[in-house]
Copies of this chain bind each other. A is one copy, B any other.
């Protein structure tokens, strides 16, 4: 598939080159796929610890998911239909010895062997929250107050090759998912949006909260995006990194009862639960910090370093399964997460 590489600003390409030259990123040989050096990872881990500490204090349950997901779950969730251009599907080989020989020869010559592949029942995980809803639904009705899940750093995939170092095809999204009564869930999203602003500004970033929408596909998608925006269901925390526009480093998404209905998420009284999720783009937050404070974290302002070091040294031991003690409708297009 001759993927179109997104046209980026010279500023973004220059920043990418600087990150590669400094060993913060490692060239993966294709746009949007990078390894990371130790200095990059240390900052990322510190930011993850900062988010997890706040989530744990709020009673979050820790769950961890792999970077792949059963295809039928994304079909059911509507992701495939709404974001076909971003979705990654896993194909595999199920052929004969003769076909394997053909595949081997073509692969060695870097020729096309796609006809020797067939679709498996697996896809790449596009956002960390998708496996959470069916997992929680399988436990039966929620306890009063619902639940808060911290999925930590999930590797997610978006098929959008770009030379902007802040636009990856594979990256880590730190997501928190809240499932419960409508008002409690809406209030939780509003509270975390403010926490997000405080967290990023506390690290010296020029972060602003904005109304936003998901990149739904095509003409029909523009209507869905407009409706999502009008209903105020997606907020993004944008920070200047590189390029003419600030970059979304976190999103705060309210799904109303859409996923509750889809997955049969029930409250203790039998009514449908509401859901919200928030996600911090870990690589984007680190890129914003590097752009703002310079490429050498050991020379960042003392206050910023102290805040990150403190988070990292506060051993973020995963919390046990804890259910929240708090209190308790419409329908929209399925959001990206």
Give me the interface of A with B, judged by CB distance under 8 Å: 1-3, 23, 26-30, 33-42, 45, 61-70, 72-73, 75, 78, 80-82, 84-85, 87-95, 97, 100-101, 103-105, 107-108, 110, 112-114, 116-122, 124, 131, 134-135, 138, 155, 157, 159, 168-171, 217-220, 312-313, 315, 317-321
CA distance A218 to B45 in the complex (A): 43
Q: Considering residues A26, A122, A317, which has the most beta carbons from chain B within 10 angstroms of its beta carbon?
A: A122
User: Which residue of B is nearest A318, CB measured?
Assistant: B38
Given contacts A3-B121, A321-B38, contact A66 B33 (CB under 8 A): yes
CA distance A88 to B121 in the complex (A): 11
Query: Which of B110, B124, B131, B317 is in CB contact (< 8 Å) with A312?
Result: B317
Tell whether, in the assembled complex, residue A317 and residue B42 are in contact, meaning their CB atoms are under 8 Å apart.
yes
Q: How far is the CB of A137 from chain B (nearest CB, A)?
A: 11
Tell whether, in the assembled complex, residue A119 and residue B114 are in contact, meaning their CB atoms are under 8 Å apart.
yes
CA distance A223 to B144 in the complex (A): 61
CA distance A159 to B23 in the complex (A): 33
Top-7 shortest CB links A-B: A81-B104, A66-B170, A114-B119, A38-B318, A1-B118, A80-B107, A38-B62
Tell whether, in the assembled complex, residue B318 and residue A42 are in contact, meaning their CB atoms are under 8 Å apart.
yes
User: Which residue of B is nearest A155, CB measured?
Assistant: B67
Q: How far is the CB of A324 from chain B (nearest CB, A)?
A: 15
Can you sample 20 A-B contacts with CB below 8 Å? A1-B120, A26-B63, A26-B135, A38-B62, A38-B63, A38-B320, A42-B317, A42-B318, A68-B124, A75-B107, A80-B107, A85-B92, A85-B93, A88-B92, A89-B90, A91-B91, A97-B218, A97-B219, A112-B119, A312-B315
CA distance A3 to B103 in the complex (A): 19
Q: How far is the CB of A284 from chain B (nearest CB, A)?
A: 15
User: Which residue of B is nearest A152, CB measured?
Assistant: B41
User: Which residue of B is nearest A171, CB measured?
Assistant: B66
Tell whether, in the assembled complex, residue A68 and residue B33 are in contact, meaning their CB atoms are under 8 Å apart.
yes
CA distance A218 to B155 in the complex (A): 33
CA distance A124 to B168 in the complex (A): 15
User: Which residue of B is nearest A44, CB measured?
Assistant: B64
> Which residues from chain B contact A105 at a C-beta distance below 8 Å?
81
> Which residues from chain B contact A93 at a C-beta distance below 8 Å?
84-85, 87, 159
CA distance A23 to B135 in the complex (A): 10
Query: Which of B29, B73, B82 is in CB contact (< 8 Å) with A29?
Result: B73
Query: Which of B3, B33, B117 is in CB contact (< 8 Å) with A92?
Result: B3
> Which residues from chain B contact A28 at a C-beta distance below 8 Å?
65-66, 69-70, 131
Tell whether, in the assembled complex, residue A64 and residue B81 are in contact, meaning their CB atoms are under 8 Å apart.
no
Tell whether, in the assembled complex, residue A122 and residue B64 are in contact, meaning their CB atoms are under 8 Å apart.
no
> Which residues from chain B contact A38 at a C-beta distance below 8 Å?
61-63, 318-321
CA distance A320 to B22 in the complex (A): 13
Given contacts A85-B93, A88-B122, 19 further A-B contacts (CB under 8 A): A1-B92, A27-B135, A28-B69, A29-B70, A29-B134, A33-B66, A33-B70, A38-B319, A38-B321, A41-B62, A42-B317, A42-B318, A66-B155, A66-B171, A81-B105, A84-B103, A90-B124, A91-B117, A315-B315
Tell whether, in the assembled complex, residue A30 and residue B121 are in contact, meaning their CB atoms are under 8 Å apart.
yes
> Which residues from chain B contact A121 at a C-beta distance below 8 Å?
1, 3, 30
